[in-house]
Structure 1
């Protein structure tokens, strides 16, 4: 468009002054806010003065063609909220993501921070669970932890979803941190005869020994079974209807008590007793639906650190405050 056409496009003089066309307002705003052109450069391109460009930009903001958001820094508030959440749940540390939990991998940076602060050395053992959130975290940028041994917390599950494939998650985490993976070649819930054979198998015993010496765990926290689109196929949903969530396929109620299911005694997984003994056990979970599970899991001592997002942390603090007032 030549300058004469631009002038025609712009002009419609009213008692309030010149009325600029939306197309001209959009072009000026795009040049300034998207393409980083100066007002002088825009004036040259549009064949007008800098004063007119300034009016164009002001008018674009007034009409909503340009929307400017001023966000107050939240670092101090996030730190305070993390401390409040840790105190409310009785945890040693809470790491918060400021990204929404609906963003894939949103908790990854906070997980990286948590792992970095633990200070894992070569030869230390990191165990990882299955679950959608842990699967997404395994694809994020994690700190370099060369020589750390990584192994699953639970056997494989007959489910097509990638987040149930514990060996694959282990491989991904090990690759991200530069660690050494040790895989668990066993189903999560074998039959009675196979269960006994697996417990005596050298490859399985190698993994169980790693569990016993784990210095760190990265654990997903499952939502209440009734709210989930899928749970492990070997778990009868009716048997765990009272559960608010699970960790490593160990289901628990609102008070953190075990909710057993048929065959659960054959589960090839890290025991809850062992989870309680791990020095740094990090739960990775977010979403309002998981608030009861996170609170109950923390109460039961299944983990001592938490990675979550800001809305979930606020909901956890609010829930803890309400519970305290009801018991006062």
Structure 2
């Protein structure tokens, strides 16, 4: 078998393995999706196992030249990219389900004793919670990264529920953050941040080795934009500041800058520097509407691991071809 043929076979085997093991698709469904026979799918699964492509989770030990993962990694300098196979004709709901299932399985593989998991609430995290695989691990903490209360109700069960569901899945300790997503006054946040209880919780956030989040964007109907968190003046303010997205209710611009965005002074979310320090800063993206925010977050260096649906990954790579080389957080070109 020629080297090119072996590479093609390996690439297809990895794709089939991901569909089979992460998406729980049948061999018949996979055969229909990639346009081959069930027998060929079975042979590809055997090939993946025989050649070490599959262990407990799916591995791609060699980045094949020209693939999406390699292209994104080269452009942005991200440590790990996982592109989830999704048909171009799939609905947004189906794409989200596949990406969430993949992300849930991946996070499971990372959780070990003494792990601290930091969660930013949102629609994507809710979908991941729906796909968690039970795994009890000793001495694990799950901490909420930003408050979820609205202007009318300081306690909003949306964020707390996600923390509780993740904690229950791992037999872990749950640490909610019962404060508003946005304070009315920056001085209120400054005063509260001096309280011992809040200092303790923020210290736990800082210790998190796994940070799990998505990109918030008005165009995608993210929960922060649809859940009554922002009033008309807030929306006008972030537009004036050139905001393209948020992580844990902290907003940033196209160039990744965020310190002087006015609304951030009232946000309960952590400084985005936290995401630059974490061992596993995992961004999960489903939907092309998140691409502008994702690009900015990558430029800002807030992501070191990305789980993304295939159509969105293709769009990201296409836009890279016409864009200037990206800069990492140190201000150096990543390619």
Q: Compare 317-326 and 237-246 and name the one that shifted more.
A: 317-326
Separation of aligned partners in 2, 1:246 and 1:69? 34
2:120 maps to 129
Cα pair 1:129 1:248 within 8 Å, conserved: yes
Tell me how many residue pairs correspond in the alignment: 258
Cα pair 1:128 1:218 within 8 Å, conserved: yes
> Which runs of structure 2 are paired with 1:261-300 in the superposition (5 Å)?
261-300=261-300
Cα pair 1:127 1:151 within 8 Å, conserved: yes
Separation of aligned partners in 2, 1:286 and 1:179? 27
2:84 maps to 97
2:307 alignment partner, SS class: strand
Separation of aligned partners in 2, 1:155 and 1:325? 35
Separation of aligned partners in 2, 1:159 and 1:139? 28
Consecutive unaligned residues in structure 1, runs of 5 or more: 1-67
**Structure 1 residues 108 and 286, CA gap change in structure 2 (3 angstroms):** closer
**Structure 1 residues 70 and 149, CA gap change in structure 2 (3 angstroms):** closer
2:193 alignment partner, SS class: helix
1:155 maps to 147
2:195 maps to 201
Q: Please, what TM-score do these two structures have when normalized by structure 2?
A: 0.67
2:73 maps to 86
Shift of 1:150: 0.5
* Structure 1 position 233 matched with structure 2 position 230: yes
Separation of aligned partners in 2, 1:252 and 1:70? 38
**Structure 1 residues 228 and 259, CA gap change in structure 2 (3 angstroms):** farther
Cα pair 1:90 1:299 within 8 Å, conserved: no
> Which runs of structure 2 are paired with 1:11-90 in the superposition (5 Å)?
71-72=35-36, 80-90=67-77
Separation of aligned partners in 2, 1:158 and 1:317? 37
Consecutive unaligned residues in structure 2, runs of 5 or more: 1-31, 49-59, 327-332
2:206 maps to 212
Rg comparison, structure with higher value:
1
Separation of aligned partners in 2, 1:197 and 1:255? 31
1:59-116 CA-to-partner distances (Å, cap 9, x unmatched) read xxxxxxxxx7762569989974323322233211112222444325321232134324
Separation of aligned partners in 2, 1:317 and 1:298? 13
1:96 alignment partner, SS class: strand
1:26-56 CA-to-partner distances (Å, cap 9, x unmatched) read xxxxxxxxxxxxxxxxxxxxxxxxxxxxxxx
2:118 alignment partner, SS class: strand
Separation of aligned partners in 1, 2:299 and 2:160? 29
Cα pair 1:130 1:164 within 8 Å, conserved: no
Separation of aligned partners in 2, 1:70 and 1:278? 37
Separation of aligned partners in 2, 1:301 and 1:69? 35
**Structure 1 residues 105 and 227, CA gap change in structure 2 (3 angstroms):** closer
Cα pair 2:119 2:142 within 8 Å, conserved: yes
Separation of aligned partners in 1, 2:198 and 2:313? 37
Q: Please, what TM-score do these two structures have when normalized by structure 1?
A: 0.68
